[in-house]
Amino acid sequence: MKQIKEYIEANKDRFLDELFQLIRIPSISAESEHKPDMIRCAEKWRELILAAGADKCEVMSTTGNPVVYAEKIVDPSKPTVLVYGHYDVMPVEPLELWNTNPFEPVIKDDIIWARGADDDKGQSFMHAKAFEFMVKTNQLPCNVKFMLEGEEEIGSGALYGFCEEHKELLKSDIILVSDTGMIAQDIPSITSGLRGLCYWDVEVTGANHDLHSGIYGGAVANPINILCKMIADLHDADNHITIPGFYDDVLVISDQERALMAQAPFDEEAYKKELDIKTVHGEKGYTTKERTGIRPCLDVCGIWGGHTGEGSKTVLPSKAYAKISTRLVANQDYQKISQLFKDYFEAAAPDCVTVKVTPSHGGAAYVSPLEMPAYQAAEKAMTTTFGKRPVPTRSGGSIPIVAGFEKILGTKSILMGFGLGSDAIHAPNENYPLFNFFKGIETIPYFYENYVELMKK
Amino acid sequence: MKQIKEYIEANKDRFLDELFQLIRIPSISAESEHKPDMIRCAEKWRELILAAGADKCEVMSTTGNPVVYAEKIVDPSKPTVLVYGHYDVMPVEPLELWNTNPFEPVIKDDIIWARGADDDKGQSFMHAKAFEFMVKTNQLPCNVKFMLEGEEEIGSGALYGFCEEHKELLKSDIILVSDTGMIAQDIPSITSGLRGLCYWDVEVTGANHDLHSGIYGGAVANPINILCKMIADLHDADNHITIPGFYDDVLVISDQERALMAQAPFDEEAYKKELDIKTVHGEKGYTTKERTGIRPCLDVCGIWGGHTGEGSKTVLPSKAYAKISTRLVANQDYQKISQLFKDYFEAAAPDCVTVKVTPSHGGAAYVSPLEMPAYQAAEKAMTTTFGKRPVPTRSGGSIPIVAGFEKILGTKSILMGFGLGSDAIHAPNENYPLFNFFKGIETIPYFYENYVELMKK
């Protein structure tokens, strides 16, 4: 790949300017008021990917937000890489914790600060610019397809049906995804596994209206107190999840494999310092990396009920709510777990309240074998640009659709992500270092070159 | 008391019109944006009480919201009744559960629907109109003072200092309060005891920023999960509060007294039906009336953290919050309990989080002896107007300042309230039946007559 560094150097301001056009569109898929922004963002992608050199690009309708599909077919007999990314972003509240406007990107300390700077506008746009480089310098060694969806942050609901419907169009040899992270700027890594996900909305109802906490307190169940107890009961003293059957399908990892995993560099003191916590906290018998890599977990992602404003209202509320999610590991069936939790939690409700569990979204875990050509192509590409062989890691995060791709399209994915743990994705002050953004653009063309080479064998 | 019924009949529309002028002012003391409304409401009271016949009325400044003070001194040698009430109201959220605008009163099914219709604009205004009747018909048998505060719903913070400062001005023989309820329209009752109150704001902090629940979930403490566990641990399986020392000062009620209390009419089936609950829920070994009357309790009045909006954000939040309150019974020292909880709850925090407890407000419990002349005067007045002897009851609610009056001014209070359990005070769709409003106005003059008579002996 000749002149990639020079190309980046010559075009870097334009690259950032284009990325910022994408970032400025507040494409928050979780909030229905942003529906028009989803369309605007998809149209902006179309404009940018056509300018980058795609033969054609369409904003295709789905049962939800549209999918941006683009392609450049150089030779049908050559391999095809399908680049997957998403143009939707997470909500931004609590807004008061942001140092800058989340949708007005700023560069400070050589870092881009904005919602979507990493996840996934920054990362997916690297592919557009790497593609542009290969097209403009006549070095594109294979066919490329792009598929950018607008619902990743809310479970990719519509994309499953879209894939079913467009199997032929989406046919490829490998799906290339940059929506994960690496260990550090000087420790490249490739995500070889992802956790699955289940998410539920929980509603606990006590009396039919809010009550005066003095007149009724002590005699009528408080749905907040009850919900807290029910949530507390989901873990035992060793932080094992107590839902019967929850661990049944979890693959037991051999001591040998755990020993191998333990060799990946990880500085727990630095980890604690970065998060400003005194101790880590998780399932007894496992290390921090194991807890996020090979073990499932259960977290309350949101809770609310009663008086949450200023002052001290003495109320015994009628309702309390929680958003509960679990991360799953390979071999756990998310649909089975979804039902398991619903049945268990509703049945666990004491007589004094009613509990309603609504499954929200979910997805299976995914494992990418280190032997496949795409893994080796990515490994070699990163070795070239980082000067160091990347480490395989298991991410605690989930990209449920990746397991969906394998099931529906029959195609494996390679997760070559360039994010950092400090990028604060899903949180206030999301950011993405310029180093990572440009290093990603530099690395991607080598992946294509290596991949096409390996596929010839 | 001649012609009280006729006077009410002739003036009822005006009485309601004047009350509605008070209600229309959104005097929510818990929300700082309503500061100007507090002043407006105090001024409106001044206008109305002067028109009702007070010799003088002043809106007096305090360290917080102003106090409306009025008086009519007919003869310094006669007894003096100090009427206490409050012109502030509770917040109104969740607004979507109201059937009407909370600050635009409507009469439907012979009931006034509005925030403050009962608590305490409706109830305190009955005193203004009963006073007007006695003045205009030359039947006022003693001196009357009015004191209306604007911070009852947030703990009467400024009123303690106000009482200290104006002991002489506030001198009286009895403090007359209508800020409580009675059992039913055909079962009059007088509140002979009130619970005390402690209220705390709790903040649990995990990592220094919101985290991606996939990448960190299972390895870093989730402050919501931890808070839920800590709240759950505040009660044991019998619903006893587990804070060491919490019950130390609670007076043990004799079996004989419990048997007497049990004679007060109470229909638990109707209670459950009204609240639409399958079972009551409280401390083992006590009845529903005992649980709210003679036993302390602990409730979470509010909880929040993480993603509480639409959709399914997968976040491991940095912070979780709760507003926790306890109701206390006679002999429990609220300042001692306040410190006890703070020390206990902060110490109970596991190493993986930090917990901060901020005491908000509190007040002591109060008991009014059935032997005192004011109780007997109230009992006789209600017997006259309801045709039935009222039952003494212990309310689960708190009016902390009532214990404060006794301590600072050395004056007992009589709690002759006309509210109903169905009035939804502190909740959406607060209401006050016209029957209760007018019956209150009818009853109050008899209290004065009986009280002056009994004080002569």
Weakest mean pLDDT among A25-39, A221-235, A250-264, B287-301: A250-264
What rounded mean pLDDT belongs to chain A? 95
Residue pair A51/A119 in contact by the 8 Å Cβ criterion: no
Q: What is the pLDDT of residue B354?
A: 97
Mean pLDDT of B32-54: 97
Q: What is the pLDDT of residue B128?
A: 98
Q: For a pLDDT cut of 90, what percent of chain B falls above it?
A: 84
Residue A254 pLDDT greater than 90, yes or no: no
Q: Give the residues across from A107 on adjacent strands.
A: A112
Cα separation of A214 and B296, whole Å?
10
- Between A403 and A45, name the one with better pLDDT: A45
Give the number of beta-carbon pairs within 8 Å between A and B.
364
- Across the interface, do A211 and B275 touch by the CB < 8 Å criterion? yes
DSSP codes of every residue in B20-34: HHHHTS--BTT-GGG
Long-range contacts of B383-386 (CB under 8 A, 24+ apart): B383/B188, B384/B443, B384/B446, B385/B439, B385/B442, B385/B443, B385/B446, B386/B186, B386/B188, B386/B439, B386/B443
Q: Pairing mode, if any, of strands B366-367 and B189-194?
A: antiparallel
Phi, psi of A130 (to 5 degrees): -65, -40
Residue A227 pLDDT greater than 90, yes or no: yes
Q: What is the pLDDT of residue A416?
A: 97
Residue pair A65/A88 in contact by the 8 Å Cβ criterion: yes
Q: Which of residues 398-417 of A touch B (CB under 8 A)?
A: 398
Name the CA dihedral angle for B251, B369, B187, B429, rounded to a multiple of 10 degrees: -70
Residue B204 pLDDT greater than 80, yes or no: yes
Residue A350 pLDDT greater than 80, yes or no: yes
Give the closest residue to B12 by CA, choosing from B452, B437, B384, B341.
Answer: B437
A457: buried, middle or exposed (CB in 10 Å: 19+, 13-18, 0-12)?
exposed
| Alpha-carbon separation of residue B146 from A266, A332, B69, B164 (angstroms) | 70, 69, 5, 17
Enumerate the residues of chain A whose CB falls inside 8 A of the CB of residue B97: 209-210
Q: What is the pLDDT of residue B130?
A: 98
ipTM: 0.76
In one letter, which amino acid is A409? L
Give the closest residue to A54 by CA, choosing from A110, A118, A120, A134.
Answer: A134
Mean pLDDT of B442-457: 96
Q: Give the residues across from B198 on adjacent strands.
A: B326, B362
Residue pair B297/B313 in contact by the 8 Å Cβ criterion: no
Residue A193 pLDDT greater than 80, yes or no: yes
Closest Cα in chain A to B292: A218
Mean pLDDT of B361-387: 92
Enumerate the residues of chain B whose CB falls inside 8 A of the CB of residue A215: 181, 292, 395-397, 421
State the Rg of chain A over Cα: 23
The reply to whether B216 touches chain A by the CB within 8 Å rule is yes
Give the model confidence (pLDDT) of B310-330 as tens digits. Answer: 888 889 999 999 999 999 998
Residue pair A12/A106 in contact by the 8 Å Cβ criterion: no
Closest Cα in chain A to B214: A397
Mean pLDDT of A333-346: 96
- Across the interface, do B323 and A316 touch by the CB < 8 Å criterion? no
Mean pLDDT of B168-182: 96
Mean pLDDT of B295-311: 94
**Model confidence at A421, in pLDDT bands (50, 70, 90)?**
confident
Weakest mean pLDDT among A293-297, B20-24, B329-333: B329-333
Candidates A197, A215, A311; nearest CB to B397:
A215
Weakest mean pLDDT among A24-33, A293-302, A310-319: A310-319
Closest Cα in chain B to A181: B215
Q: Give the residues across from A202 on adjacent strands.
A: A322, A357
- Across the interface, do A313 and B327 touch by the CB < 8 Å criterion? no
Give the model confidence (pLDDT) of B9-42 as tens digits. Answer: 999 999 999 999 999 999 999 999 999 999 999 9
Residue B1 pLDDT greater than 80, yes or no: no
Cα separation of B355 and B227, whole Å?
9
Q: What is the pLDDT of residue A153?
A: 92
Residue that is written with structure tokens 């509210």 in the block = B419
Give the model confidence (pLDDT) of B124-153 as tens digits. Answer: 999 999 999 999 999 999 999 999 999 999
Q: Which of residues 182-211 of B touch A (CB under 8 A)?
A: 195, 197, 199, 201, 206-211
In one letter, which amino acid is A424? A
What rounded mean pLDDT belongs to chain B? 95
Cα separation of A169 and A196, whole Å?
27
Cα separation of A120 and B146, whole Å?
65
Residue B229 pLDDT greater than 80, yes or no: yes
Q: For a pLDDT cut of 70, what percent of chain A falls above it?
A: 100
Give the model confidence (pLDDT) of B233-282 as tens digits. Answer: 999 999 999 999 999 999 888 888 788 778 778 899 999 999 999 999 99
